[in-house]
């Protein structure tokens, strides 16, 4: 079946560091990918929608200059957390949509990235 | 904006019991509804997807129902096992393709 690979699975770094997270669709071309964030004991919240070849669409309250999204190819979207601070510590997870399967089919999720900023 | 609510937030049951998890959503104009399982510190495992035109889906000991008009879904787990312990998330997909998640129900099945 369709697989989405997310890397790295865990990051621990110092405050002020920029962190890049990759999301790859392994056996389909994903024109649209989604980035979610989950704080402890909270729901997954959509951060942004990543569209191949165009600018990402960010949800209200998400700083586009802090969370840089690049979707330069049909199989790769990256999320860069710039100058990360402890409050950015969270679980980040991506999903991808296979446009060939139609509007009613499930998206495919990566395994997520646990980001801890010291 | 779509709001998804899950009740209860946490549930503890002895092994073997049948149980029901509830999900409600505010906007009935959905494409589909999915139930996921999330183990601590892990990603999501898709359990069942119900399309907007469907009423229920079954997979093994799991049965999910959907009443779109009332904005409700239930996940029924039969003969619960300790391995079922996890957080169960309900998510609805609307026209924007992104998923709107509830906060989840944390389930503990004790031996």
- CA angle, residues A102, A104, A108, in degrees to nearest 5: 85
- Each residue's pLDDT tens digit, A87-118: 999 999 999 987 777 666 677 899 999 999 99
Q: Is A109 helix (H, G, I), strand (E, B) or coil?
A: strand
Name residue, tokens 């096992």. B81
Question: Which chain B positions have a beta carbon within 8 Å of A97's beta carbon?
Answer: 97
Q: Rounded distance, CA A71 to CA A64, Å?
A: 14
Question: Which chain B positions have a beta carbon within 8 Å of A32's beta carbon?
Answer: 97
Q: Is A112 at the interface with chain B, CB within 8 A?
A: yes
Closest chain A residue to B92 measured between Cα atoms?
Answer: A106
- Each residue's pLDDT tens digit, B10-23: 999 999 999 999 99
Whether residue A40 has pLDDT greater than 80? yes
Q: Is A99 helix (H, G, I), strand (E, B) or coil?
A: helix
Q: Is A86 helix (H, G, I), strand (E, B) or coil?
A: helix
> Percent of chain B beyond pLDDT 70?
100
In this prediction, residues A24-53 reach a mean pLDDT of: 90
pLDDT for B19 equals 96
- Each residue's pLDDT tens digit, B95-105: 777 899 999 99
pLDDT for A102 equals 67
- Each residue's pLDDT tens digit, B27-71: 999 989 999 999 988 889 989 999 999 999 999 999 999 999 999
């Amino acid at each position: 079946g369709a697989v989405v690979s997310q890397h790295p699975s865990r990051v621990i770094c110092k405050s002020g560091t920029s962190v890049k997270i990759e999301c790859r669709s392994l056996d389909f071309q994903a024109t649209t990918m989604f980035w979610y964030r989950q704080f402890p004991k909270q729901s997954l919240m959509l951060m942004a929608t990543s569209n191949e070849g165009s600018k990402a669409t960010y949800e209200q309250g998400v700083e586009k200059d802090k969370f840089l999204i690049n979707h330069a190819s049909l199989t790769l979207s990256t999320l860069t957390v710039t100058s990360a601070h402890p409050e950015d510590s969270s679980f980040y997870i991506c999903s991808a949509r296979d446009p060939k399967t139609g509007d009613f089919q499930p998206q495919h999720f990566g395994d997520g990235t646990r980001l801890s900023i010291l | 904006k779509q709001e998804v609510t899950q009740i209860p937030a946490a549930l503890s049951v002895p092994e073997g019991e049948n149980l029901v998890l509830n999900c409600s959503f505010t906007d009935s104009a959905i494409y589909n509804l999915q139930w996921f399982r999330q183990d601590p510190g892990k990603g999501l495992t898709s359990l069942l997807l119900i399309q907007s035109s469907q009423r229920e889906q079954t997979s093994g000991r799991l049965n999910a129902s959907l009443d779109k008009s009332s904005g409700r879904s239930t996940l029924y787990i039969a003969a619960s096992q300790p391995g079922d312990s996890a957080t169960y998330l309900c998510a609805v997909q609307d026209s924007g393709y992104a998923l709107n998640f509830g906060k989840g129900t944390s389930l503990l099945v004790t031996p």
